[in-house]
Chain A
Amino acid sequence: MKKHIHDVLIIGAGVVGTMIARELSKYQLDVVILDKNNDAGDGTSSANSAIIHSGYDPEPGSLKAKFNVLGNAKYPKLVEELDVPFIQCGSLTIALEDEQIPVLKELMERSKLNGVEVSLLNKEEVLKMEPNINPEVKGALFAPTAGIIDPFNLVVHAMENAIDNGVKFLRSQEVLDIKKEDDIYKLKTNKEEFYTRIVVNAAGLKSDKIARMIEDIDWAITPRKGEYYLLDHYAYGLVNHTIFPLPSKKGKGVLVSQTTSGNYIVGPSSEPAEADDVSTDTFTLNNIKKAAMLMVPSIPFNQTIRVFAGERATCTRHDFIVEYAKSDNHFINVAGIESPGFVSSPAIAEYVVETLIRPLITLRSNPKYNPCVKKYHRMFYLSEEEKLQTLKENPNYGEIICNCEHISLGEIEDALSRSCPPVSIKGVKRRTRAGYGKCQGGFCQPKVLMLLAKHYGVSPTQIPLAEDGSYIIDHEIKEGK
């Protein structure tokens, strides 16, 4: 059998991998993207603060600073094209003690060096903008370009758009070995073998492991876990901006922010952890609560609907790694993408393609390239008129599946009909918000599970909660149905 040789193979379908895939889909290339998980954006990209940072904080001159600022500017257009909920709400970094005011001023200087527009606010100005902040506040740094995004749909829609433009996405493919023979890379996964001219390593928490498959490296990923609270959406107006404490060596600290769906997110912690450890613990969560209540004393923690954890792909180099492997420029490492990774990802992708890949291969424009995904009809965000129009076109948008978030059958069927469809309960939840509310799928999970089983023509026992192997139904009883 003649082996098929791809032009570019991307390892990892997180926000970085999918953005690179989308950027590559602008050109006539044979691109394949693999992920060890069964969906795009299942790792670090699925559990983070979902903040589109302004860029005032990273060390001037670092890649973090560069890509953050470039990436931030790309967002307004990007979210239009990919139809992703995004709110440019601005951020406030607050000082709770007089001694912290000089630190705010330092941050202001740093912002200038990074080219980020900020302003210094006094106590009265802060309390006017955010009445629920601790009245002991002394001042704050206001960054109007910071925003919040729906992180799940950003990644999934970037993947969908890349697929629509010709990229191939393969799920549940874990890369086990990489070899180079006659200028062609041979990758062995748990399922099959792939051949490619160029490899992009965007494997997140496992990027050091992947990089070591071809050479010795002088960096490593040391994951840091962050735990979070997610609150229901009744505490209207608790905060209107993303609220940060002053940054420390451990990171940006515990933030309080609204999400694009009107919920509130509180976190993260920052502690070293084993890769893939996304467990939560009471001790850490209590510390987060204390830290958050210093900033916003009235957070209604009794409205908690979920606690979760994610891991940062923190790198020993303390900056992003976006470069050729030492021994071979056809192997590109995009690693250590921790905060501000989300905001940076479109700028990183452009740099990887235009600066690192362009010298290696002829880039001819893809005449069929369309930067936009087909519009989504999210009933939650539509006006009365748009709702009625949507219902006229497809009555299934009237059949509500998720009671808490009012997600319709039409929305779930639409997600299933797209080029990057969900295969799990979590996949449906992230795309549509079904099961995202206060009952956490208690009412709608059986309905969603039956829909998935019917759609894929499999037994309900085959439908996972999240990853392959996370089955929900053990067996069907004989008397059933």
Chain B
Amino acid sequence: MKKVDLVIIGSGAAGMAAAVEAKRNGIDDILILEKDERLGGILNQCIHNGFGLTEFKEELTGPEYLQRFVEQVKELKIPYKLNAQVIDLSKDKVVTYSSKEDGLVKLQAKAVIMATGCYERNAGAIMLPGDRCSGIITAGTAQRYLNIHGLMVGKRVVILGSGDIGLIMARRLTLEGAKVLCVSEIQPYSAGLNRNIQQCLIDFNIPLYLSRTVSKVIGKDRLEKVVLSAVDENLQVIPGTAMEFECDTLILSVGLIPYISLLNYIDCPTSSAKGAVVNQYMETMINGIFTCGNCLHVHDVVDFVSDEARLAGRSAALYIKDKINRNANRINVKPGNGLSYVLPQFILEDSLEDIVIKFRVRKPVQDQIVWIRSGETIIMKQIKPVMIPSEMVMIKIPKEKLAGIKEDIIVSLEDR
């Protein structure tokens, strides 16, 4: 079996940044495996701008952003394989991939970084009520048809879910000549970034209905009609509130889920963020298997993906050089009041770096104190005027502040 120090699965924003960082930290024997025919992952189809404000201090499109990383990968001569789908990953880090060129190949890796991104929740996952006609499509798939293949999925469109891809597609389809009738969001607040609400909906006079969802789709062969109904605080449809929209397309932007089948198959523990449980090195509960980016938790900004991936790349390099003390005490990090998830989920004592705690709030909140506590000890206290679920919160804890901490760390919110 061929041996490789570091195998990186996926060459999107996470995979490439992790590879570059691992290389810069002294790992030469790297292989990136990409299932698609080009590097860059989903960024290839994100032709809108708004990328790179943190990473490059300028506003780039998705393809421009990924190109900066492709250049680094090429400059550093990091090997990669395209059209190579990983079909199995074992606990002892044997990676099996399949490609037309190489057939079925097994590689023994010292460390693996999972950077496989996410997939879209679809009509099945949300149990969309009504007929099984065509014209119901997830936002990312519609985006791929349009931006990669030059194919439009419809003329009169309703969008369910106000996630960022849905908002971006509302604008994109409008610019391409479609009539976007409305965006419907089941929650009482938008799931997308405020800048996208402004630039993609308000600027184009597209109405956003909050606390409304699709109660029925109607169509024999192709979609003919969508019924939107109001929902109560338990998200249940309120009878008698139906609004009907004649349309040929329903775009679903109802959430992204980390795409980690490979980890599920080996029973790698997962968190409420739906990715793997990780420590501060972005290492999963399986030694030497690291993960980062949208397959760990879904990010709102790609720049943060790249940053998180560098940590995974750096850590994998440390792991390969046996510089992580794996026998160190383990301290759990748990989401407390008001949080939907927190990351990392555990910390190995004697951290080599400062630790960035990342979390999301359950619902929009104002004037909060974020407490980071371990038993009676207050590790950090920060005041946040506004937090919304669509924006990830990051708080850096200097490693000195963790010295002597033994008990579980709880991150929680309190009204000021």
Report A's interface with B, CB cutoff 8 A: 230, 234, 278-282, 285, 304-309, 384, 387-388, 391-392, 395-396, 398-400, 403-404, 406, 408-409, 438-443, 445-446, 450, 460-461, 464-477, 479-481
Is there contact, CB below 8 Å, between A282 and B100?
no
Among A442, A469, A471, the residue within 8 A (CB) of B220 is A469
How big is chain B's contact interface, by range?
A: 35 or more
- Between A and B, 5 residue pairs with Cβ closer than 8 Å are A395-B103, A445-B141, A468-B221, A470-B133, A477-B151
Among B100, B145, B237, the residue within 8 A (CB) of A398 is B100
Nearest CB of chain B from residue A425's CB, rounded to whole Å: 9
Is there contact, CB below 8 Å, between B134 and A480?
no
Among B87, B103, B145, the residue within 8 A (CB) of A473 is B145
Is there contact, CB below 8 Å, between B222 and A305?
no
CA distance A470 to B137 in the complex (A): 13
- Report if A469-B100 is in contact (Cβ < 8 Å); known contacts: A279-B132, A442-B119, A474-B248: no
Is there contact, CB below 8 Å, between A398 and B127?
no
Chain B residues with CB under 8 Å of A409's CB are 100
- Report if A399-B99 is in contact (Cβ < 8 Å); known contacts: A279-B129, A406-B85, A474-B155: yes
CA distance A88 to B6 in the complex (A): 43
- Report if A476-B152 is in contact (Cβ < 8 Å); known contacts: A280-B130, A442-B141: yes
Residue B123 at the chain A interface, CB threshold 8 Å: yes
- Which residue of chain A has the shortest Cβ distance to B151 in the bound complex? A473
- Report if A398-B98 is in contact (Cβ < 8 Å); known contacts: A285-B127, A403-B35: yes
Provide the B127-155 mask, 1 if CB < 8 A to any CB of A, else 0.
10111111101101100111011111111
Is there contact, CB below 8 Å, between B221 and A470?
yes
Residue B83 at the chain A interface, CB threshold 8 Å: yes
Is there contact, CB below 8 Å, between A440 and B122?
yes
Among B99, B138, B261, the residue within 8 A (CB) of A442 is B138
Is there contact, CB below 8 Å, between A470 and B222?
yes
- Report if A472-B153 is in contact (Cβ < 8 Å); known contacts: A280-B130, A304-B125, A442-B122: yes
Chain A residues with CB under 8 Å of B120's CB are 439, 442
Is there contact, CB below 8 Å, between A400 and B87?
yes
Is there contact, CB below 8 Å, between B153 and A473?
yes
- Which residue of chain B has the shortest Cβ distance to A472 in the bound complex? B134
Among A305, A408, A464, the residue within 8 A (CB) of B124 is A305
CA distance A106 to B404 in the complex (A): 69
Residue B104 at the chain A interface, CB threshold 8 Å: yes
Number of A-B pairs whose CB atoms are under 8 Å? 144
Nearest CB of chain B from residue A13's CB, rounded to whole Å: 19
Nearest CB of chain B from residue A402's CB, rounded to whole Å: 9
Is there contact, CB below 8 Å, between A474 and B104?
no
Chain B residues with CB under 8 Å of A388's CB are 103-104
Chain A residues with CB under 8 Å of B152's CB are 473-477
Is there contact, CB below 8 Å, between B221 and A399?
no
CA distance A469 to B103 in the complex (A): 38
Known: A400-B99, A406-B85. 16 other contacts (CB 8 A): A230-B124, A234-B264, A279-B131, A282-B237, A285-B127, A398-B99, A399-B99, A403-B85, A406-B87, A408-B98, A439-B119, A442-B119, A442-B141, A465-B133, A470-B222, A472-B134
Is there contact, CB below 8 Å, between B150 and A481?
yes
CA distance A194 to B127 in the complex (A): 43
Residue B376 at the chain A interface, CB threshold 8 Å: no
Among A398, A399, A474, the residue within 8 A (CB) of B154 is A474
CA distance A173 to B148 in the complex (A): 36
Chain A residues with CB under 8 Å of B145's CB are 446, 473
CA distance A442 to B45 in the complex (A): 14
Provide the B17-61 mask, 1 if CB < 8 A to any CB of A, else 0.
000000000000000000100000000000000000000000000
Chain B residues with CB under 8 Å of A395's CB are 100-101, 103
Residue B176 at the chain A interface, CB threshold 8 Å: yes
**Most chain B beta-carbon neighbours within 10 Å: one of A305, A403, A406, A460:** A403
Nearest CB of chain B from residue A476's CB, rounded to whole Å: 6
Chain A residues with CB under 8 Å of B101's CB are 395, 398
Is there contact, CB below 8 Å, between B129 and A282?
yes
CA distance A391 to B102 in the complex (A): 9
Chain B residues with CB under 8 Å of A404's CB are 261
CA distance A404 to B264 in the complex (A): 12
Is there contact, CB below 8 Å, between A460 and B264?
no
CA distance A282 to B231 in the complex (A): 14
- Which residue of chain B has the shortest Cβ distance to A401 in the bound complex? B85
CA distance A346 to B123 in the complex (A): 35
- Which residue of chain B has the shortest Cβ distance to A309 in the bound complex? B132
CA distance A315 to B149 in the complex (A): 48
**Most chain B beta-carbon neighbours within 10 Å: one of A304, A400, A446, A479:** A400
**Most chain A beta-carbon neighbours within 10 Å: one of B134, B154, B249:** B134
- Which residue of chain B has the shortest Cβ distance to A278 in the bound complex? B132
CA distance A441 to B119 in the complex (A): 10
Is there contact, CB below 8 Å, between A442 and B150?
no
Is there contact, CB below 8 Å, between B261 and A438?
yes
CA distance A199 to B98 in the complex (A): 49
Is there contact, CB below 8 Å, between B129 and A471?
no
CA distance A450 to B145 in the complex (A): 10
- CB within 8 Å of A: which B151-204 residues: 151-155, 176
CA distance A465 to B152 in the complex (A): 15
Chain A residues with CB under 8 Å of B249's CB are 474
Chain A residues with CB under 8 Å of B140's CB are 442
CA distance A219 to B155 in the complex (A): 45
Among A439, A446, A465, the residue within 8 A (CB) of B148 is A446
Is there contact, CB below 8 Å, between A476 and B133?
no
Chain B residues with CB under 8 Å of A307's CB are 124, 127
- CB within 8 Å of A: which B201-226 residues: 216, 220-222
Is there contact, CB below 8 Å, between A406 and B98?
yes
